[in-house]
Each structure stands twice: as C-alpha cells, then as structure tokens.
Amino acid sequence: MIKSYNSFEVAQNQIRDAAKILNLDPATLDLLLRPQREFAFTLPVKMDTGRVKIFQAYRIQYNFARGPAKGGIRFHPDETVDVIRALACWMTWKTAVVDLPLGGGKGGVICTPRNMSVRELENLSRAYIRAAAPYLGIEKDVPAPDVYTNPQIMAWMMDEYETIMQQHHPGVLTDKPMQIGGTEGRRDATARGGVITVREACKAFNVDPTGTFAIQGFGNAGQRAALLHQEMLGGGKLVAVCDSRGGLYDADGLPVKELVMHKLKTGSVKDFPGAKAIDRDAVLELDVDVLYPAALENCITHENADGIKARIVCELANGPTTPEADLILYDKGVHVIPDILASAGGVTVSYFEMVQDHTLDFWSEQKVHRRLDEKLTTAYQTMQEAILEKNVHPRLAATVVGVARVAEACELRGWVAPDEARKNLEF
C-alpha cells in the first residue's frame, strides 16, 4: 500500500534537513517554515444556467526576500490549501536555485474545469482576479498557468487586472499569448530546461546522451522532452512511453514525431502501430540511461525504487519521487535531477517574459534559448558542487542551495539576526 503524504509536511521536513546542514538559527528556520502571506477568497460566479455558484480560491505568497512572488494558478477539483502551500514553498527554492530575483507563490481554485463552459471559465478567471488584484503586480506577485489553466485564461486575467487598474500591466501574468505580451520560447521551456540538465548530468556521470531513454507521462512536457532530447543531445533512442491509458515499448526505438502526432490525433499513445503494449507502471523500471517522470506525483516510492534501473532520472513532473525513494535511489547510485531544478525552465522563461514586458524589448527565440541554457547550466553545476561539498543526495543539495540563498536575503534585509556561520549560506 502506497503511503499517503501531506505535501506541505514533506516540504517543511526538507527545509529542516537543509537548515541542519546550513546551521541556520532558530528564527531563520521558523521564518522559512511558513508562508509570509496567505489569502483565501470566496468567489461568486454566474453560470450558464443563470444561477450563481460559489467557488473557494487561494493565493499563497511564500517568501519575498529575493523579489516578488512567482507561481502558477491551478483549477482543480481536489485542490487543498496544504498542496498550494507546498507548491509555493517549492517555487521559492526553485527561483532561488536558478538565481532569479523572485520569490515563490502559488494559487488555486477548487473547481472541475472539464465540466465548465468557456464562458464559465472566463467568468471564474475574472472573479479570481477581482478578488486577488490588490495583492498582485509585477512588483508584488506574478502568477502563471498551472494545472488546467492556460494562456487564454492568463489573457482573461490580465485583461481583468488592467480593467481594474485602468493601465496596461502586461507583466502581471506570464505565459500569455504572443500577441499580448507573451514570449518566444515559453511553450517548450520546461522540457528544454530538463533536457539541458540531462545534458549536464551526462557529462558529470559519463553517461552517453545518445543512449536509451523512457518517458512516463506523454502530455505537453513529455512530448516536448522526447523531441528535444533527440534534437539537443544529438540523438537518443526512445524505447518506452506511457500515458494514463497505457504504455508502449520498442527496443529498436519509437519514432518520436509520429508518436507525438498519434497522441495529438487520438488523445493517447495507446494502439500506436508497430509497438508492444506494456503496463504503464513498467515504464519506470526499464533498463534505460535516462528516465523522465513527467506525469504523476509520488510515482517512485519505497515500493518500486529498488526496481529503477535508469542511471539518470529527470523529474519534469512535480514531486514524482517520495522522500524514502530519494534515499534508496541515492544509495543505488541513480542520479535524480530534482523537480525544483529539472522543471525550472518554465519559471525561468516566465521571468524573461516579465523582463520583456517591463522594458517593451522583446527577444528572439534564439536569445531566449541561449539565456535559458546559461541559467540552467549554471544552476546544475551549483547543485553538483553542493552534492559533493555536503555529501547529500541531489534533492537535498538543490534545497540547500535555494534555502541558503533565501536565508541570506532574509539576513541582509535585517529580518533575522546575522548568522555567525555566514559562510554556509554562500552559493
């Protein structure tokens, strides 16, 4: 039986582990264990039937020490405040690990988007911004899409914010359509960032980047990772893939472009011609050089971690590896690129979008890709230095880097007393 986890408790335990390594004082630890601001909203929304339905919504701004909060807004029927707290917490370390001048935040609305019309989704999106507008802004908090939200929803939200403020504020939300302030390079940013970190991991651990790889989850991130892995790493053989409806295996390699087209046409990888059908969970335990978990949280646990044979695991999904599994994989010599680094390409390019909207100087796709590569390469190398210096597993190393940078900013601002072990905070 798979153990149930409270996401925020997991996040807090990760902070405590990092604090021990960094020798943080009690006040700094206490500050970092909790969000700085939390907002709960009750949203009345007019539905297509003419009746009003009430939705519960949240926005959590975890830490502002390094800059305005940054993080997505998700629409989900099973949303909880603790999940949003955890995601806002992890966003704080994610922006710090890639050295962006941002803090971390997250928002959510408890709803079932697939049961709502386009008009109802627009009404809900605008209602959220009417409630949250006083707490948002390019110098306060900049949301983006997340689960079941998209660029169109960001466009509605930006329009509502600008209507309230009676000014143009394109940078108040990111991942918008290109025509109203979006940026080149955003659609594939998460996957591209992940592949960059895989490239660096292959160098560090002497793994052939043109070897075999498998992808668990074939949504946007998984599809783009499949294409970019081959494009950016000079090849590579995709031998297995799965989605919610099934899995595929071909030892000779699956044709990636044709598989992506099949998925877009049919909604699943299932029944792709010429490939062997396998159980979707079996994809995780194949003998491959690189594994991309790009779907579910808690899919690698203490129950199956011993069966993971990949040399590198690149977490494009949020929280695919449980705390116990982290330790098992580390002991086995499996190198995990943790989600707060592996999936940081998205927030990095969102930051680039903020910069472009603020300056009205828009970049070419090549410039976005180059700047993203610089950021993720440096961040991976910094994490690797922390792994070696502190002798810890990669997730803890990345958390140590993020927590150290945020703690130092808190100290420099005078929020907490100077730490006599200041050298521990320098990354």
pLDDT of residue 1: 45
Of the listed ranges 21-30, 58-67, 294-303, the one predicted with least confidence: 294-303
Give the pair of three-digit tokens for residue 209: 């980047």
Residues 230 and 319 in one domain: yes
Of the listed ranges 4-18, 22-36, 39-53, 155-169, the one predicted with least confidence: 4-18
CB 97 within 8 A of CB 341: yes
**Which strands, in side-by-side order, build the sheet including 37-46?**
37-46, 52-63, 104-110, 69-76, 141-145
Residues 72 and 216 in one domain: no
165: CATH: 3.40.50.10860
CB 283 within 8 A of CB 313: no
Out of 112-126, 284-298, 317-331, the most confident range is: 112-126
pLDDT of residue 423: 53
As for how many domains the chain has, the answer is 2
SS3 of the chain: helix, strand, coil, percent, to 5: 50, 15, 35
Residues 204 and 60 in one domain: no
**What's the whole-number mean pLDDT along residues 77-106?**
96
420, pLDDT greater than 60:
no
Flag whether 196 is in a domain.
Answer: yes
**What's the whole-number mean pLDDT along residues 160-174?**
97
Q: Which residues does residue 41 pair with via DSSP β-bridges, in sequence order?
A: 57
171, pLDDT greater than 80:
yes
Residues 296 and 212 in one domain: yes
Nearest to 243 by CA among 273, 267, 213, 274: 267
419, pLDDT greater than 80:
no
**What's the whole-number mean pLDDT along residues 287-299?**
92
245: CATH: 3.40.50.720
pLDDT of residue 154: 98
Residues 334 and 252 in one domain: yes
Residues 226 and 330 in one domain: yes
Radius of gyration over every alpha carbon of the chain, rounded to an integer in angstroms: 21
Flag whether 415 is in a domain.
Answer: no
Flag whether 386 is in a domain.
Answer: no
Residues 106 and 242 in one domain: no
**What's the whole-number mean pLDDT along residues 71-81?**
95
Residues 166 and 193 in one domain: no
pTM of the predicted protein model: 0.94
Provide the CB-side half-sphere exposure for 312 (13 A, CA).
25
Provide the pLDDT confidence category of residue 425 given band limits of 50, 70 and 90: low
Contacts of 350 (CB under 8 A, 6+ apart): 70, 142, 144, 174, 175, 186, 189
Residues 252 and 316 in one domain: yes
Residues 172 and 199 in one domain: no
Residues 132 and 220 in one domain: no
Residues noted as catalytic? 106
Residue bearing tokens 């946007």? 220
pLDDT of residue 318: 85
Average pLDDT, the chain: 95
pLDDT tens string 102-124: 999 999 999 999 999 999 999 99
Domain boundary residue among 325, 342, 359?
A: 342
Residues 169 and 216 in one domain: no
**What's the whole-number mean pLDDT along residues 360-384?**
98
- The amino acid occupying position 191 is A
Structural domain for 97, as ranges: 36-180
**What's the whole-number mean pLDDT along residues 265-278?**
92
Flag whether 360 is in a domain.
Answer: no
pLDDT tens string 196-253: 999 999 999 999 999 999 999 999 999 999 999 999 999 999 999 999 899 999 999 9
